[in-house]
Amino acid sequence: MSNDVLEQVTSIIETDPRSGQSLLLFALVSTLNVEKTGHMYMLGKLKEFTPENRQLAYGLMEMMADNRIHDEAWQAAMARMEQAVKG
């Protein structure tokens, strides 16, 4: 499931990297990627996600809770997302 969540999030970001939903997802992924921030993400931002993307956000948070955010799949997806957002 977690790789499916990563692939869905990556696909959303690559398809339209400048959309509000893509940027919200990218912000969440970026925050989860840096442990020293304490994973600071305002929970109120979850209201800005579409219901479908909110489920993806929950999946990403579940990956963080399972200590799976620095595995190879996560790093590869993160690189693709960063490339898409940076253009």
Per-residue pLDDT reduced to its tens digit, 20-70: 999 999 999 988 887 766 666 777 888 999 999 999 999 998 998 888 888
The pLDDT score that the predictor gives to residue 38 is 61
Six token digits for residue 12: 């959303």
Q: How far is 43 from 27, CA to CA, in rounded Å? A: 12
Q: Give yes or no for residue 81 having a pLDDT over 90.
A: yes
What is the model's pTM? 0.85
The pLDDT score that the predictor gives to residue 65 is 87
The pLDDT score that the predictor gives to residue 40 is 65
Instruction: Give the list of residues 6+ apart from residue 78 with CB closer than 8 angstroms, or none.
Output: 29, 33
The pLDDT score that the predictor gives to residue 35 is 73
The pLDDT score that the predictor gives to residue 9 is 97
The pLDDT score that the predictor gives to residue 39 is 64
The DSSP-derived string for the chain is -HHHHHHHHHHHHHH-TTSHHHHHHHHHHHHHH-GGGT----GGGGGGS-HHHHHHHHHHHHHHHTT-TTSHHHHHHHHHHHHHHH-
